[in-house]
Structure 1
Amino acid sequence: MNAVTTRGALLAALACVLVGGSFTANSVLGDYPYAGGQFLRYALACLLLVPLAGRGSAAKLRSLPPRGWARLALLAAVGMVGFNLAVLAAERTAEPAVPGVLVGCAPVVVAVLVPLQGGRRPRRAVLYGASAVAVGAFAVQGWGRTDGAGLAFSLCALVGEVGFAVLAVPVLRPLGPRLLSAAVCGVAAVESAAVGLLLDGSAWLRRPDGVEATALLWQAVVVTVIGFVCWYTGMQRIGAERATLFSGLIPVAAACTAPLVGTGSYGAAQAVGSALVGAGVALGSGALRVPVRLRRPRALPERAGTSPGGEPDVLTGTPDR
């Protein structure tokens, strides 16, 4: 990989590690109103992101067509509010491993879906790497305790993770990573408030206690402000297919941080799974080059610079596709 793609890969990896840590933070928010917590998170993140959006941000938002605003609303509803509410709901009756494993399958879905949307075939290296990432994610966290509701909400979390990447592609270029992050956080805050008022009425928002406030601050400042900008910057540089490979690091990070709050352990299975995730990411992102096969070119007429028999002095290799 060149310097640009390397930086993009590192940014995507950092973002997914931060999201993985948020799975553990979610475990202490089980008693806080779902929508109210997301409103506080995204509203604070939006306020912090607006000064970072840069000059001309208002003009860019005004020039965004209605289809673009609809895309932002859907991105916020599916990839942010829906994703987090699904994870929180899943962890009510399922261990954190269950949504973590299913979210780790997102690279396989994106590796197939994004190329098909563009009218091309999936890349074999990305697809193989995504499959290794998914298997590694399962090995890291196993299949924890769950019921039907926990499994259903975990599947919704998978849909949200896929949507967070796929739905952002058309609006990432005109807005840029920082303005896109600020805009979707503002939209997500409004959507969270609407969901809270609809489902919980006046009880949709309350003052968090010390532990809940710490978890919400972590989600707003670290996971959202830093994580979103890193994610969309990385995706802008390496594309949605390769960036989503790094979501396999989410269950790895969740497994590593779970022992800190006493909700899990890290052993041999987690180590093997982490290694498999790393290998899949390296293969699919291009860090591991596919071996090339040297082919002898066809015989050329004898001329200066060729060896007897008309064969060039140097053989060139072409990828074995």
Structure 2
Amino acid sequence: MTWNQQERAGASLGALSVVFIGGSVGAASLLHDYPLLGGQAVRFAVAVIVLVAWGRVRRHRFRLPTVRESVWLILLAVCGMAGYGVMLVHATSVTEPGNVGVAIGAAPLFIVLVRAAHTRTKPAVGLVIGGVIVLAGTLIAQASASGGLQWGLLVFSAISDGTQS
């Protein structure tokens, strides 16, 4: 099977994103005393500066978002990447980073199944198999690194009441 340039670029970017996400779990465990919301604000400000600079270099003309688009952007930031960053740091404060990695590894399978339920269609077999493989890989990696999985209902109750297990 030969891949065209677009497929190779997509596979490379997908692999790079996996490395970044996996690395972010380990890095998040070092940020417990970091001002999370301020850090997220700085992170997004730097992203805007880089995006605008890149647009200027490429001579792209920007327009201001409409009010509706601005609301969606804010909701996406709060519920998406900023919310993910805050929850990732909090999760690593109540359990080991590897356990958080297992939860993140379950996301592809969860997304496939939720989408199928939402659209009331059968999930694609290949996507389910891929999700199961990712989840199995994260479970095996965590179990082999720590001598067994270490979380259960105690972690979830620790998250809900703010205490550590």
- TM category (shorter chain) comes to 0.7 to 0.9
Q: Measured at CA, do residues 147 and 117 of structure 1 come closer, stay the same or move farther in structure 2, by a change above 3 Å?
A: closer
Q: Report deviation, 1:32.
A: 1.5
State which of 50, 69, 72 in structure 1 corresponds to 2:52: 50
Q: Report deviation, 1:65.
A: 7.2
Task: In structure 1, give the amino acid aligned to 2:7.
Answer: T
CA contact (8 A) 2:25 2:100 kept: no
Match of 2:75 in 1: 74
Instruction: Give TM-score scaled by structure 1 length.
Output: 0.41
C-alpha distance in 2 between matches for 1:65 and 1:6: 38
CA contact (8 A) 1:115 1:121 kept: yes
Within the alignment, does 1:144 sit opposite 2:146 as a pair?
Answer: no
Task: In structure 2, give the amino acid aligned to 1:22.
Answer: S
Match of 1:275 in 2: none
SS of residue paired to 1:147 = helix
Count of aligned residue pairs for this structure pair: 150
Q: Report deviation, 1:120.
A: 4.6
Q: Report deviation, 1:6.
A: 2.9
> What does residue range 1-321 of structure 1 map to in structure 2 within 5 Å?
2-3=3-4, 4-53=6-55, 54-59=58-63, 61-62=64-65, 66=68, 68-114=69-115, 120-142=121-143, 143-144=149-150, 147-149=155-157
SS of residue paired to 2:23 = helix
Task: In structure 2, give the amino acid aligned to 1:147.
Answer: V
CA contact (8 A) 1:108 1:127 kept: yes
CA contact (8 A) 1:104 1:134 kept: yes
Q: Measured at CA, do residues 113 and 65 of structure 1 come closer, stay the same or move farther in structure 2, by a change above 3 Å?
A: farther
Q: Measured at CA, do residues 9 and 119 of structure 1 come closer, stay the same or move farther in structure 2, by a change above 3 Å?
A: farther
Q: Measured at CA, do residues 86 and 50 of structure 1 come closer, stay the same or move farther in structure 2, by a change above 3 Å?
A: same
Q: Report deviation, 1:11.
A: 0.3
Task: In structure 2, give the amino acid aligned to 1:111.
Answer: V
- RCO higher in 1 or 2 (8 Å CA, sep ≥ 6)? 1
Q: Report deviation, 1:80.
A: 0.9
Q: Measured at CA, do residues 2 and 77 of structure 1 come closer, stay the same or move farther in structure 2, by a change above 3 Å?
A: same
Question: Can you give the 5+ residue segments of structure 1 that lack an aligned partner in the other structure?
Answer: 154-321
Q: Measured at CA, do residues 55 and 110 of structure 1 come closer, stay the same or move farther in structure 2, by a change above 3 Å?
A: farther
| Bigger radius of gyration among the two | 1
SS of residue paired to 1:90 = helix
Q: Measured at CA, do residues 128 and 97 of structure 1 come closer, stay the same or move farther in structure 2, by a change above 3 Å?
A: same
Q: Report deviation, 1:106.
A: 0.8
* Deviations 1:160-213 (CA, angstroms, capped at 9, x unpaired): xxxxxxxxxxxxxxxxxxxxxxxxxxxxxxxxxxxxxxxxxxxxxxxxxxxxxx
Q: Report deviation, 1:134.
A: 0.9
Question: Can you give the 5+ residue segments of structure 2 that lack an aligned partner in the other structure?
Answer: 144-148
SS of residue paired to 2:80 = helix
SS of residue paired to 1:28 = coil
| Percent of residue pairs identical | 30
CA contact (8 A) 1:92 1:150 kept: no
C-alpha distance in 2 between matches for 1:125 and 1:148: 31
* Deviations 1:31-60 (CA, angstroms, capped at 9, x unpaired): 11221222222222221222224444523x
